[in-house]
């Protein structure tokens, strides 16, 4: 099937806006970690960073040879990186795979596609300075969607010039250039990246930070990113920008105000039935033949914009109070959602075009708290406020408690389901030891696609079952209970770090594709799952360039359905007799996953990094009759990545070679690259 190019046409005003922002990009003073931190607090530019984090810095990214954000996440505990049946990049954590349950922040602003919740995971590593992963359902600080975890990405902070050209055995040509300079009170950075090959990816990032007042420590900052990908039947174009004022550290208080906006433009082509498909069940006298196959094309534009005010004040030396308010809107411009097919609702053949009998709910007039907004179709307005208090009760114990209350224009308000909360106790009994007890409660909203999409009814006779949108879907809810501990210490000149975390996660009102025996069914909030897991990781640093690390994660997840409020099965001994049927175990992600890595100084020539990734066998979820018909099994897998990065040659040049194993296949991918470094500009 030959893909048709989608004519991306961002408005002129947006294009001018992006160009103006591309002069430089934002940065606040901060200490960036150059390694993988084990359950330890991270100093970063987040105004409200109070929890334990998992951080990956620029040095580790370069040493490991990571190609993009997917490679970085694959090295962390609990993450599984693969592709779904549509060959789309997919990330799962603790067995759950749904982009809308993750929050991805780039320089402090979300990058999610508001239509289907999808995330642009293939952000090139050359664009990344640091990644912080918060393994908490921390909706208090980050809002709805912080269901599984929050991933904070900071773009490159390169003073001077860094350029790279690389070639991959999959016929990929990678090139990038990053530059940064300080002019008195202004500091700016810019980066451009291109990946030409099977997946064509382009990226542009820029930012600046201007110190307006040394006395007040007042900064004016801006950020902008542009990403584009074209791979066969899918094309994506997106941009994001923000502008704000901040006083990041004045001793007693900190303030940040930010306005932001963004756009996703997506085109997707799908082959629903192969070439030569014959509809023999057609009501017509003769079968209908689709010589080119049954095809569909979908395209849409979705915007997001908002404003956020954060504040932090030190009431007494042992207490810090953080608070904030946020308002935002996302929506599809009226008529900007398009769906075409070469088949009608009556199963007749037609030239590729709109389906006359099909009403696209995505283009209905936006209703915002009872007021119609003709400029938009599907839309959502959100308003929220939060407060979080951090108490240092004594030299050994710290208490963190917070709550956030939100309102959404397209979801009926319910105080308890719209309230997110957290309580964390951190105990440090001895130097280097850390014990953490945590409770988080968060929510995730239905996407526009889950609320309004009805396009698949065109193919209801071809598919096993079709699920259409339900605009009355409520939020998904999750509660997380965690106990974690870590040790960080030295023996002679060697640094040892070890961490262990156990957790229990209970999710309810999950949006599930319930198999009710009908060909066409509406999505509903009838599912739920219980997950128990344990993770451990460690790292031994002999020197900055010589270290070993490992992480192991294991979990068990059980799926439930709720019928009239009653669970269809039971897991625990104390549940009622009506729920004693065993719950289906979720096994479509590896229950056991192991990462091993070593970095060595290769005889002063450079660094050699070896990484092994192993995952256990898993099977497709079998939660209903539809899943049983699609039963599949994926065997255990293991693969090795090898990277060599030379020390500077003639001061300015760095050579690197990377070999990446490919899971589920017998092949591998090899890259060779040359970097030019110039630290003074």
b (16+ CB within 10 A) / e for 417-439 = bbebbbebebeeeeeeebebebb
Cα–Cα distance measured from residue 10 to residue 263, given in angstroms and rounded to the nearest whole number: 9
Q: What is the mean pLDDT of each run of 10 residues along the chain (681 residues)?
A: 40 36 30 27 29 73 88 87 65 79 89 88 89 85 87 88 84 86 90 83 91 90 92 87 86 89 92 83 72 91 94 89 94 92 87 89 87 87 94 92 94 91 92 91 92 86 77 91 91 90 91 65 84 91 91 87 75 69 71 90 87 78 49 72 87 83 60 78 49
User: Which pLDDT score is estimated for 109?
Assistant: 87
Are 522 and 536 spatial neighbours (Cβ–Cβ below 8 Å)?
no
Which has the closest alpha carbon to 331: 375, 298, 369, 294? 375
Place of tokens 């082509």: 269
User: Which pLDDT score is estimated for 391?
Assistant: 92
- CA separation, residue 391 to residues 14, 396, 437 (Å): 44, 11, 15
Q: Kindly report the number of other CB atoms within 10 A of residue 366's CB atom.
A: 23
Cα–Cα distance measured from residue 367 to residue 162, given in angstroms and rounded to the nearest whole number: 49
User: Which pLDDT score is estimated for 37?
Assistant: 29
**Alpha-helical regions (H) of 69-147:** 69-74, 139-142
Which has the closest alpha carbon to 98: 478, 656, 430, 635? 478
- CA separation, residue 155 to residues 24, 80, 111, 224, 375 (Å): 12, 23, 13, 10, 34
* Tokens (6 digits) for 551: 């992480």
Q: Sign of torsion, CA 90 92 98 101?
A: negative
| Size of the chain, expressed as the number of residues it contains | 681
Write the CB contacts of 590 (distance below 8 Å, at least 6 apart in sequence).
80, 615, 616, 617, 618, 636
User: Which pLDDT score is estimated for 575?
Assistant: 74
Write the CB contacts of 66 (distance below 8 Å, at least 6 apart in sequence).
72, 75, 125
Cα–Cα distance measured from residue 579 to residue 577, given in angstroms and rounded to the nearest whole number: 5
Cα–Cα distance measured from residue 530 to residue 503, given in angstroms and rounded to the nearest whole number: 11
pLDDT in tens, 526-552: 888 888 999 999 999 998 889 999 999
pLDDT in tens, 579-625: 567 777 776 566 788 999 999 998 778 899 999 988 887 665 545 54
Q: Kindly report the number of other CB atoms within 10 A of residue 338's CB atom.
A: 16
User: Which pLDDT score is estimated for 250?
Assistant: 64
User: Which pLDDT score is estimated for 273?
Assistant: 85
* Tokens (6 digits) for 169: 């055995």
Q: Kindly report the number of other CB atoms within 10 A of residue 331's CB atom.
A: 25
Long-range CB pairs of 657-663 (<8 Å, 24+ gap) are 658/65, 658/67, 660/65, 660/67, 660/71, 663/82, 663/613, 663/615, 663/637, 663/638, 663/639
């Amino acid at each position: 099937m030959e893909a048709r190019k989608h004519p991306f046409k961002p408005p002129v005003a947006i294009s001018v806006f992006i160009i103006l922002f591309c002069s430089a990009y934002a940065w606040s003073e901060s200490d960036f970690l150059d390694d993988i931190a084990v359950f330890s607090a991270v100093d970063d530019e987040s105004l409200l960073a109070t929890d334990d984090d998992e951080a990956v810095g620029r040095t580790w990214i370069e040493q490991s040879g990571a190609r993009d954000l997917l490679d970085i996440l694959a090295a962390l505990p609990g993450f599984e990186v693969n592709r779904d049946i549509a060959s789309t990049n997919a990330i799962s954590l603790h067995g759950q795979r749904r982009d809308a349950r993750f929050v991805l922040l780039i320089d402090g602003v979300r990058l999610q596609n508001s239509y289907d919740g999808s995330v642009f995971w293939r952000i090139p590593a050359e664009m990344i300075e640091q990644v912080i992963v918060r393994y908490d359902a921390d909706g208090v600080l980050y809002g709805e969607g912080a269901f599984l975890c929050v991933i904070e990405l900071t773009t490159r902070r390169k003073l001077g010039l860094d350029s790279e050209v690389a070639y991959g055995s999959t016929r990929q040509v990678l090139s990038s250039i990053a530059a940064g300079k300080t002019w008195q009170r202004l500091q700016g950075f810019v980066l451009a990246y291109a990946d030409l090959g099977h997946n064509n990816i382009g990226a542009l990032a820029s930012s600046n930070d201007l110190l307006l007042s040394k006395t007040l420590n007042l900064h004016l900052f801006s950020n902008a990113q542009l990403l584009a990908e074209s791979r066969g039947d899918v094309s994506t174009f997106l941009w994001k920008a923000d502008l704000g004022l901040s006083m990041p550290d004045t001793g007693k208080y900190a303030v940040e105000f930010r306005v932001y906006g963004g756009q996703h433009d997506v085109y997707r082509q799908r082959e629903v039935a192969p070439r030569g498909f014959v509809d023999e069940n057609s009501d017509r006298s003769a079968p209908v033949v689709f010589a080119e196959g049954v095809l569909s094309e979908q395209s849409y534009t979705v915007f997001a914009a908002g404003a956020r005010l954060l504040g932090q004040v030190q009431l007494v030396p042992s207490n810090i109070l953080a608070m904030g308010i946020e308002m935002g809107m996302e929506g599809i411009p009226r008529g900007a959602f398009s769906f075409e097919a070469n088949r009608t609702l009556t199963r007749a053949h037609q030239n590729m075009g709109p389906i006359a009998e099909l009403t696209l709910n995505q283009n209905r007039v936006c209703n915002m708290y009872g007021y119609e907004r003709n400029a938009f179709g599907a839309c959502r307005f959100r308003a929220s406020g939060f407060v979080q208090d951090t108490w240092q009760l004594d030299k050994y114990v710290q208490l963190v408690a917070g709550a956030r209350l939100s309102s959404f224009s397209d979801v009926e308000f319910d105080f308890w389901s719209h309230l997110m909360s957290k309580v964390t106790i951190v105990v440090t009994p001895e130097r280097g030891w850390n014990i953490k007890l945590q409770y988080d409660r968060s929510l995730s909203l239905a996407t526009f696609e889950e609320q309004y999409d009805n396009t698949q009814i065109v193919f209801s006779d071809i598919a096993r079952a079709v699920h259409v949108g339900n605009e009355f879907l409520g939020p998904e809810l999750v509660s997380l209970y965690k106990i974690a501990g870590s040790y960080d210490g030295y023996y002679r000149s060697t640094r040892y770090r070890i961490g262990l975390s156990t957790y229990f996660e209970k999710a309810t009102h999950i949006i599930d594709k319930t198999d009710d025996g009908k060909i066409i069914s509406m999505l509903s909030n009838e599912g739920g799952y219980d997950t128990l897991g344990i993770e451990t990781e460690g790292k031994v640093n002999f020197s900055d360039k010589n270290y070993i690390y490992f992480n192991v994660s294991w979990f068990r997840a059980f799926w439930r359905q709720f019928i009239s409020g009653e669970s269809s099965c039971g897991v625990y001994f104390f549940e009622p007799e009506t729920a004693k049927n065993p719950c289906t175990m979720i096994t479509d992600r590896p229950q056991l996953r192991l990462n091993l890595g070593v970095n060595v100084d290769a005889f002063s020539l450079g660094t050699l990094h070896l990484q092994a990734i192993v995952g256990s066998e898993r099977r497709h979820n079998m939660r209903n009759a539809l899943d049983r018909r699609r039963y599949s099994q994926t065997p255990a897998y293991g693969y090795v990545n090898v990277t060599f990065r030379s020390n500077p040659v003639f001061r300015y040049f760095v050579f690197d070679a990377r070999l990446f194993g490919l899971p589920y296949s017998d092949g591998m991918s090899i890259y060779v690259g040359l970097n030019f470094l110039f630290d003074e500009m």
